[in-house]
Amino acid sequence: MTRPTVRLRPNRAPKLRFGFPWVYADELVLDRRTKALAPGTIATLEDAERRPVATVAVNPISKIPARVLDRDPEAEIGLDWLRDRLASALALRETLFDAPFYRLIHAEADGLPGVIIDRFGDAAAIQPNAAWAEALFDDLATALAEVTGVTTIVKNGTGRARTLEGLEEVTEVVRGTLDGPIPVPMNGATYMADLTGGQKTGLFYDQRPNHAFAARLAPGRRVLDVFSHVGGFALAALAAGAEHALSVDGSAPALALAEEGARAAHVGDRFTTHRGDAFDTMAGLASEGPRFDLVICDPPAFAPNKGALEKGLRAYERVARMGAALVAPGGYLVLCSCSHAADLARFREVSLRGVSKAGRPAQLIHTGFAGPDHPTHPMLAESAYLKAIFLRLG
């Protein structure tokens, strides 16, 4: 069967030919025929002169109604195509890591738009956050098992991205079995990843290099890890020889996993947790007087989109001000942002302003980003979302 075609409006093709992976609603001819296509339909994208441009996945109800799957307008999207993309991604990760614990697919940057796959040894979690991936999920899972050899696959169909695509939320084990959280070795620590009940896919691999840099500052020091999730920075610091670490988070299940990870790594005697609002907890610690040699603040995305940017920047400034007040003289403050709408320059600006308002002189000693298993699409700023600044405070 001849597959459907969709057409660009005039003068919209050049950036796609240079590799941009999305077609926005105001760039595509959304006529009655196109609007009638089922979400996830594979189609040939044409320019305004009816010349083929690329193979795309169409979702008429999305703000991104066409996503480029292949720059070959005649590409056949199926099991073989998925195997090739997965094999290419696997080759990179096997070059970078000596153990199968990493992000295997980072969406557009790995040529699978809207798809996230995190690997946990013999298990993997797939987030099919685009309609085409939902439609081809069975083939995607089959290709994943064949290429990597994983025996357990979890479908994690939750989150804002799926809502924007008009997809239902669902989390289920689609292959194999899970007996509980999976221990993940990383930076000398052990993390417990809950693939069915945890945040996102169960663990944040993106912070791996930032955990490692913070751990270099930790030996013999007192550490405070705010917005800690399953103990990301704290457990790495303890593995490196921190005197003590306190993890603060609003999620009791996340803190329970952090404690389990600390016990598994035999550092539980130097680790405590506190469940509570991060801002309230930091205010309480400031009034009580304890100071820490290393403070890390890794909050959720305060600016998930441009509309939330200004409010989010104010929140990041507040985090920096409150965090700086808890750092002992000569200690270190680590501030992180996973908001792609807040670029590094703006995030650094408001963070340093917050530190200044706390009355603390600072040296910027390092800037960190996501690890190499989270490659950046060169034409898509959204794929370079994570940034971390490391400060030494006077």
Looking at every residue in the chain, the average pLDDT score rounds to 96
What CATH number is attached to the domain comprising 14? 2.30.130.10
297 has catalytic annotation:
no
In a domain, 353, yes or no: yes
> Which structural domain, as residue segments, surrounds residue 15?
5-70
What pLDDT was estimated at residue 122?
98
Q: Same structural domain for residues 324 and 388?
A: yes
pLDDT band of residue 355 (cuts 50, 70, 90) is: very high
Q: Same structural domain for residues 337 and 194?
A: yes
What CATH number is attached to the domain comprising 168? 3.30.750.80
Q: Same structural domain for residues 83 and 65?
A: no
| Alpha-carbon distances, residue 264 vs 105, 208, 260, 267, 289 (angstroms) | 28, 19, 6, 8, 31
What CATH number is attached to the domain comprising 346? 3.40.50.150
In a domain, 361, yes or no: yes
Q: Same structural domain for residues 252 and 314?
A: yes
Q: Same structural domain for residues 231 and 157?
A: no
Of 120, 140, 175, which residue constitutes the final position of a domain? 175
368 pLDDT above the threshold of 60: yes
| Residue 124 · residue 143 · CB < 8 Å | no
Residue from 131, 333, 338, 388 carrying the catalytic annotation: 338
In a domain, 300, yes or no: yes
What is the value of pTM for the model shown? 0.95
Q: What are the pLDDT digits (tens) for 81-137?
A: 999 999 999 999 999 999 999 999 999 999 999 999 999 999 999 999 999 999 999
In a domain, 181, yes or no: no
User: What are the structure tokens assigned to 234, written together?
Assistant: 């704290």
Lookup result for tokens 């298993």: 373
In a domain, 159, yes or no: yes
Q: Same structural domain for residues 23 and 171?
A: no
Q: Same structural domain for residues 30 and 94?
A: no
Residues in the chain: 394
State the burial class of residue 363 (Cβ atoms within 10 Å of its Cβ: 0-12, 13-18, 19+): exposed
Q: What are the pLDDT digits (tens) for 251-304?
A: 999 999 999 999 999 999 999 999 999 999 999 999 988 899 999 999 999 998
Of 175, 206, 226, which residue constitutes the final position of a domain? 175
Angle at 387 between CA 383 and CA 391, to 5 degrees: 170
Q: Same structural domain for residues 213 and 354?
A: yes
Beta-ladder partners of 118:
103, 125
Residue whose C-alpha is closest to residue 323's, from 384, 188, 202, 233: 233
386 pLDDT above the threshold of 70: yes
Task: Give the count of alpha carbons within 13 A of 188, CB side only.
Answer: 18
Q: Same structural domain for residues 63 and 119?
A: no
Q: Same structural domain for residues 369 and 267?
A: yes
Q: What are the pLDDT digits (tens) for 161-181?
A: 899 899 999 999 999 999 999
What is the arithmetic mean of pLDDT over 230-241?
Answer: 97
| Number of domains comprising the chain | 3
Q: Same structural domain for residues 343 and 285?
A: yes
Which positions ≥6 away from 65 have C-beta within 8 Å?
23, 24, 25, 28, 30, 34, 58, 59
In a domain, 268, yes or no: yes
What pLDDT was estimated at residue 1?
56
